[in-house]
Amino acid sequence: MSELWRLTASEVAAKVAAKAVSAREVAQDALARLAAVNPAINAVVQEMPEQALAAADAVDAAIARGQPVGPLAGVPVTVKVNVDQAGFATTNGLRLQRDLVAKEDNPVVANLKKAGAVIIGRTNTPAFSLRWFTRNSLHGHTKNPRNPALTPGGSSGGAGAAVAAGIGAIGHGTDIGGSIRYPAYACGIHGLRPTLGRIPAWNPSGPERAIGAQLMAVSGPLARSIADIRLALAAMAAEDLRDPWWVPAPLEGPPAPKRAALCIRPEGLATTPEVERALRDAALRLQERGWSIVETPCPPLREPARLQAQLWLAESRRGLNTALEKEDDADARFVFAQMERLAPAPDLNAFQDALQARAGFTRQWQMFLKNYPVVLLPVCSELPFNDLLDVESPEAFDRVIEAQLVQVGLPLMGLPGLTVATGETDGRPTGVQLIAGRYREDLLLEAGAVIEAAGPAVVPVDPVV
């Protein structure tokens, strides 16, 4: 096996476009890496070697004809099993959907293909994409390649584990409550939850998403470099009017002051010393590159987190309860029971009040972000959890969801968030979260690149077994 799989997406795209290496060679190497390491971690649950090689050959043929190729030409990527990809089942980790074969591509998948990406496999998610841990009764248990005792995160746990292990340079993920940002953190890579409306997405195979999901669920990239996050964002964000929430906002906004707010303990979050050290180290990295850092409280996250759960669960109860019974996935049943305990069913007035309150919280955050263009705060108040901690007991679940305050609270406002890997502490990955204003992913990427440059490089790991 050669080691093309070690390259970043940016490096692969440049080499393929320059004919220094063929897209087929890259794809063959990526598929060989997948075969070598995936059995240990179960990150990719649907392989597609024939389709991948055909896509790579199409890229090579276009280059040979002198035709322009996309920004991800020849780059091996993975796609999460909860989005439609023509010819493959959109399982969402469910036995109930093992035969739900998509007839057309979700816009985000279509955009990856248009950009020349080579999809090598589909990645695992917990049942119903419900958790920050990744195990289901259909595809099995995904392991963290850095440390099998730790969760790979969820719900894009397969994507995070794949990218960390060198299975593809970019992983597609989705995020309604941290499902991109937390797997990136747990697997020691980077992950971007973009602004609502930045990346078009829609599953033709299913019904329209309920309003909570429409307002809070997004697709985005996970990668081993901030440059690759930037490249993937540009490709994924291309126009597709099938998603009525898509907004043709520029990828680069006007200049903003290099000023960041540092919030160690948002609303009394019990941030551990290890996480605080990572945050202060990231702040220092920014400061040494000319950024002004102001330690200050941030706008509310607790009430947004409560309302986010209320909106999501209120809609899920209309159909998920029946599906939970039919699927009978023990993890999903336990987790959903705990969430119902913490977020009682609202009446119609409470549901409307939640939607109404969203505007006020978004306003508060937008005004705050006018003064502090970037906010630096925890991804999680703890280092990555031991695997399956959430289903150990109701008390363990409460500990997990409290630690994930920022993961759950942020989506209500539709704001973008970026997890930046910063290193390791006692065998557990460390990282920080950056928040910016709507459609200002460019500011997140600018700050993230500074933090990245001053720390250890994120390179693929051989799974620890």
| Residue 460 included in any domain | no
Terminal Cα-to-Cα distance of the chain (whole angstroms):
21
| Residue 221 included in any domain | yes
| Residue 458 included in any domain | no
| Residue 463 included in any domain | no
Domains of the chain: total: 1
Whether 155 is catalytic? yes
Active-site residue among 15, 80, 113, 143?
Answer: 80
Q: Could you tell me the mean pLDDT of each successive run of 10 residues in the chain, 465 residues long?
A: 90 97 98 98 98 98 96 98 98 98 98 98 97 98 98 98 98 98 98 98 95 95 98 98 98 98 98 98 98 98 96 79 92 94 90 96 98 98 98 98 98 98 97 98 98 98 93
Active-site residue among 10, 22, 155, 225?
Answer: 155
| Residue 96 included in any domain | yes
Residue-number span of the structural domain to which 318 is assigned: 4-453
pLDDT at 370: 97
Token code pair at residue 222 = 């996970």
| Residue 464 included in any domain | no
| Residue 107 included in any domain | yes
Active-site residue among 179, 219, 225, 316?
Answer: 179
Q: Which CATH number does the domain housing residue 156 bear?
A: 3.90.1300.10
pLDDT at 228: 98
pTM beyond 0.85, yes or no: yes
| Residue 304 included in any domain | yes
Q: What are phi and psi of 3, to 5 degrees?
A: -125, 35
